[in-house]
A and B are shown apart, each in its own frame.
Chain A
Amino acid sequence: MTLFLLVAVPLVFGALCLVLPTSPLRMAALVAGAWAHLAVVIRSWPSVETPLRDDFLGLDPLGHLFLTLISALFAATSVYFVGYHRKRLISQRVFQACILALLSALSLLCISQHLGLLWVALESASLAVTPLIYFRLGPRALEATWKFLLMNSVGVALALLGIFCVAIATTCQRNPVALTIADLVRNAAQLDRTWLRVGFLLGLVGFGTKMGLAPLHSWKPDAYGEAPPPVAALMAGGMTLGAFAGLLRMFQVCAAAGLSAFAGSWLIVFGLISIGTAAVFIVGNNDYRRILAYTSVEHMGVLVVGVGLGSAGSYASMLHAMHNMLNKGAMFFLAGFIWRIYESNEIRAVRGTLIRSPLAGVLLLAALCATCGLPPFGMFFSELGIVLAAAQTGRWWVLGIFVLTLAVVFVGVMTALLPMVFGDLPENSSVSEAELPSHRWRRWTMLGAATALLALGFGLGAYQPHAVRDALARAADSVCRPQAEFVTLARTAEVQP
């Protein structure tokens, strides 16, 4: 029932958005849909059931964690959007319906245990997000949409090919294997190794395109730069997590089949290339939203490096996924706020946020620190965890490159974006629409949503409740350890509390 609700609730509210007559009502439906979804998700905790081998849908620790993250991000975004939205050419209804459809698709992705179903959900998500990128209309948005659509379609097709290859790997057995994660993991030892490897590599390329791993990231700065900031937040914090979940499913199967060294080294390679690429392109960039997009590329790289380092790094990777969601959400919310005030994408034009809107300035400064992984924000701990994991497994090369590139990113982001916070107000700056006294409530909603996410990131970095740590650890365990073993472990842990 919960599973059904997770997918249906956003769809119902999305349909409501399409039919409701007035703008405030539709906005209410959007917020209600997102929060109702969050309520369903919170009610589903703590779950102990493990999906059976024939279940297409189910809440395993990994999916459950990601589902919760995505749902929280959507709830925050829906509130933010109330403050952000303005009358636009494209139909507002379609926009809101697409947001809720995206939430529905991503929920389906997180709870689907069948690889084919997972693919369908992922493709649906990318289709739902396409109209959102084109929201601003005009040639630039069109170009971004076209690039996104084409690259993602190709990437997703390759992911499907990868899934088919995994399916072919199962055919050497007498008894048919369903393509569910539980069944694949259980029978992993008998899968055909060659095809599994091919499947994983194709899946890495496919899901990697969707995540925005370099060198398949080229759509990312364009799409994040041109899409409305709340949409960019959803993509950077939510959709990438969905694609990452798909990649982790493939990795789960490979790890269970004893290919974790092979799969892990490829993940590390892609991850390091991503961080390096981000470092190269951040330095000297003059568009703050594109810089944010490149930090997203960097964080995706960190995520896969963590998983590639094996069980030592995967906990850090899960932690990073959580903080990435919080941080990317807050960062793009603030970018949207700044864009509303300064009405420019260029760093040159945006100076002295601290003077013009003190709260936004402080928040931006905090968000920058969080992005670059300064303590006590959570990303410091997740990145530290990955460094430690690299040291533990003796991969000094990985450690060296990782730290070096992160340092370059740090310097690049700070030198580029700090002038936005401090600096002097640009002359002849006119008062924008969002700064009018009548729009005060808009400013408060926008900054409120950003504050909430940042505070959460700060809080979870400084103090980690037991429940959160447990959820992360269970998810990390399920990635790197064969499921069957994990299930028995979990069971025994329950017996002797």
Chain B
Amino acid sequence: MSAQFITDAVLVLVILLNLGMLASSRLATGVKLFALQSLLLAFLPLAEEVLEGQSPGLHAFIIGAGTLALKVVLIPYILLRIIRTGEVHREVEPFIGFTASVFVGALLVIGSFAVAMRLPLPMVPVSKLIVPVALSTLLLGMLTLVSRLKAITQVIGFLVLENGVFILGLLLLKQTPLLVELGILLDLFVGVFLMAIVVYHIRREFDHMDTHLLDALKES
């Protein structure tokens, strides 16, 4: 069990969690799967530095800790709270059914592997899986975002999409200054916080969290 194998396995697990989110109909399960995925990702910066034969630096530690605090604890806590206070706990049958969306998701994963093969990295990556996994996480997040009706699920889709960007960012630990990365994390948190507030207002306004009833605004 080399560190390499573990990194690869974690990245594969990240894809599986994505597909799991597509398949789960309970809102709370989706949030928990997202938290699990973020937990896996939080340790990747450390693993990466270990793989390159150095002791983990402060930079990797702070990024890991920030991810842990925000994406594993704080954001899931907020989302779970919203779900718990509402009456609806399940996604209604979405535009694309659960089984179908898992298959579409699998096709997207295969597609992103195909795309990643055509995009050779200019450097030697930690794991060859990073680009395809980042792409497929991104695409699956987007799929969740467009194919589901509940506002909470759409927020989860956005968060998954953001996780995809995070995975690609793993390649660039040395290029991006710490300040900027912290800014990115903070912005993400504030964004999700705002979304949570808006979801709360949507529920108060319409007594539910379905976004397909948000269709008053269109061309007259």
Contacts and interface: CB of A to CB of B under 8 A. Distances in A.
A and B: real partners? yes
Given A134-B198, A150-B154, A160 B184 contact: yes
Nearest to A123: B187
Given A153-B195, A154-B161, A168-B172, A143 B119 contact: no
Contact of A172 (B123, B138, B151, B181): B123
Contacts of B219: 221, 281, 285, 290
A179 B176 contact: yes
A150 B158 contact: yes
Contacts of B211: 146
B53 interface: no
B206 A149 contact: no
A140 B216 contact: yes
Nearest to B181: A116
* Interface size bracket, B side: 35 or more
* Interface size bracket, A side: 35 or more
A473 B48 CA distance: 46
Interface stretch (A25-33, A77-85, A192-200): A192-200
Interface stretch (B17-25, B55-63, B93-101, B162-170): B162-170
Contact of A146 (B169, B177, B202): B202
A138 to B, nearest CB: 8
A331 to B, nearest CB: 20
A381 to B, nearest CB: 32
A139 B165 contact: no
Contact of A127 (B138, B177, B191): B191
Residue among B158, B172, B184 with the highest chain A CB neighbour number at 10 A: B172
A144 B151 CA distance: 14
B165 A160 contact: yes
Given A116-B177, A154-B145, A225-B217, A146 B151 contact: yes
Contact of A157 (B158, B179, B198, B216): B158
A374 interface: no
B161 to A, nearest CB: 6
B122 A130 contact: no
A362 B72 CA distance: 58
Interface string A384-401: 000000000000000000
B56 to A, nearest CB: 20
Contacts of A172: 122-123
B183 A117 contact: yes
A147 B165 CA distance: 21
A171 B122 contact: yes
A169 B122 contact: yes
Contacts of A171: 121-123, 171-172, 175
Residue among A116, A119, A222, A287 with the highest chain B CB neighbour number at 10 A: A116
A77 to B, nearest CB: 22
B122 A195 contact: yes
B171 A168 contact: yes
A241 to B, nearest CB: 20
| Dominant secondary structure of chain B at its interface with chain A | helix
Interface in A151-193: 153-154, 157, 160-161, 164-165, 167-172, 176-177, 179, 192
Interface string B172-197: 10111101110110010011001100
B91 to A, nearest CB: 17
B202 A142 contact: yes
Contacts of B190: 124, 127
Nearest to A286: B220
Contacts of A165: 168
A116 B161 CA distance: 18
Interface string B137-165: 01000100100000100100010011011
A127 B145 CA distance: 19
A15 B27 CA distance: 38
B110 to A, nearest CB: 19
Contact of B122 (A143, A150, A153, A168): A168
A167 B176 contact: yes
Given A127-B191, A146-B211, A154-B145, A139 B205 contact: yes
A153 B184 contact: no
Contacts of A195: 119, 122
A140 B180 contact: no
A114 interface: yes
Contact of A116 (B121, B138, B176, B214): B176
A284 to B, nearest CB: 8
A147 B216 CA distance: 12
Contact of A222 (B142, B145, B158, B217): B217
Contacts of A116: 176-177, 180-181, 183-184
Contacts of A56: 177
A130 B216 CA distance: 19
Contacts of B123: 168, 171-172
Contacts of B175: 167, 170-171, 176-177, 179
A425 interface: no
Given A154-B158, A287-B220, A142 B180 contact: no
A127 B214 CA distance: 21
A168 B154 CA distance: 29
Nearest to A131: B194
B180 A194 contact: no
A296 interface: no
A157 B217 contact: no
B1 to A, nearest CB: 29
Interface string A3-21: 0000000000000000000
A258 B123 CA distance: 22
Contacts of B151: 146
Contacts of A161: 138, 164-165, 168
Pairs A-B, 6 closest by C-beta atoms: A172-B122, A116-B180, A120-B183, A123-B187, A143-B214, A192-B122
Interface of A: 56, 114, 116-117, 119-120, 123-124, 127, 130-131, 134, 138-140, 142-147, 149-150, 153-154, 157, 160-161, 164-165, 167-172, 176-177, 179, 192, 194-195, 198, 221-222, 225-226, 281, 285-287, 290
Given A123-B184, A171-B172, 4 more contacts: A124-B190, A143-B214, A153-B158, A168-B122
25 contacts: A117-B183, A120-B180, A123-B184, A138-B205, A142-B205, A143-B214, A145-B198, A146-B198, A146-B211, A147-B214, A149-B191, A149-B195, A149-B198, A153-B158, A164-B169, A164-B172, A167-B172, A167-B175, A168-B168, A168-B171, A171-B122, A171-B171, A176-B175, A177-B175, A222-B217
